Amino acid sequence: MSKIENTLASIVNNDGKHTSGQLQTTWFEHGDRVKRGLLKLGLFWLLSAASLPIIFAHWVLVPGFFIAGPWMGYRTYKITHRRDHVSGPCPSCQEEVIIKLEASDKLPKWTYCPSCKAPLHITPPEH
């Protein structure tokens, strides 16, 4: 099972105005990480098998995917959490926005308001 955690984040625009938003993070438990890792391994070995009928290219693709499988599986296993999104009011246009994050994003992060395209700075809450 994975666990969803909501923490506070500040959304700051270029004029220094800030609003407070919610940062959603999904945390993976150990069993989940094993399952995700094995799925990734399976996917790569499936790609390896699927590359068999490709003439010439299979000399590279089959061992390539085969070797990449455990490595990618291990890398997936090492991922403990995923940043989902930040939601809150945009300090420029006051619109409630949801800003998608990359899984490995770290705060602070520069991004754009999906509504008014103002550059926004997402930071951890100020203490």
Interacting residues with Zn ion (CB under 5 A) = 90, 92-93, 113, 115-116, 118
Beta carbon of residue 93, minimum distance to Zn ion (angstroms, whole number): 3
Residues comprising the chain, all counted: 127
Nearer to Zn ion, 90 or 101 (CB): 90
Amino acid at 77: Y
Nearer to Zn ion, 41 or 86 (CB): 86
Nearer to Zn ion, 16 or 53 (CB): 16
Beta carbon of residue 25, minimum distance to Zn ion (angstroms, whole number): 23
Beta carbon of residue 112, minimum distance to Zn ion (angstroms, whole number): 9
Q: In whole angstroms, how large is the CA radius of gyration of the chain?
A: 20
Nearer to Zn ion, 42 or 108 (CB): 108
DSSP single-letter state for residue 73? H
- Cβ-in-10-Å burial (0-12, 13-18, 19+) of 94 comes to exposed
| CA–CA–CA angle 46, 48, 53 (5° rounding) | 105
Report the alpha-carbon distance of residue 10 to residue 18 in Å, rounded.
Answer: 6
Beta carbon of residue 120, minimum distance to Zn ion (angstroms, whole number): 7
